Amino acid sequence: MVSQLTRAASVTMLLADQGIQVLAALANGRRPLLIVDHMPKDTVATVKRRYPGAFGRLTAIYAAEYYGCQLETIREVAGPARLEVVRGH
């Protein structure tokens, strides 16, 4: 457990040097999970899950492995196209 916390702390410092804010950190017994505001530039993230959000948009959770930790971020993605009805002219 201590090694996970030290790994999460060192990765948090690496991310802070890149201007990335860590919103939450969890150590669940496998590898540390860091929830960040956006992914580092050199990291390729994949969609972990998605669900309907507000106003017909989709909310997607992206995940990537980064120096022994799992990074996750939440993004709003375009949902199905909707027609808007304008009253009047």
DSSP state of 33: E
Give all strands (DSSP E) within 2-89, no chain letters. Answer: 22-26, 33-36, 46-52, 58-66, 69-77
| Domain ranges, ordered by start, for the chain | 2-37+44-77
Q: 76 φ, ψ to 5°?
A: -85, 125
State pLDDT tens for residues 47-79: 998 888 777 788 889 999 999 999 999 988 776
pLDDT digits (tens, 9 = 90+) for 5-64: 888 999 999 999 999 999 999 987 788 999 999 999 989 998 998 888 777 788 889 999
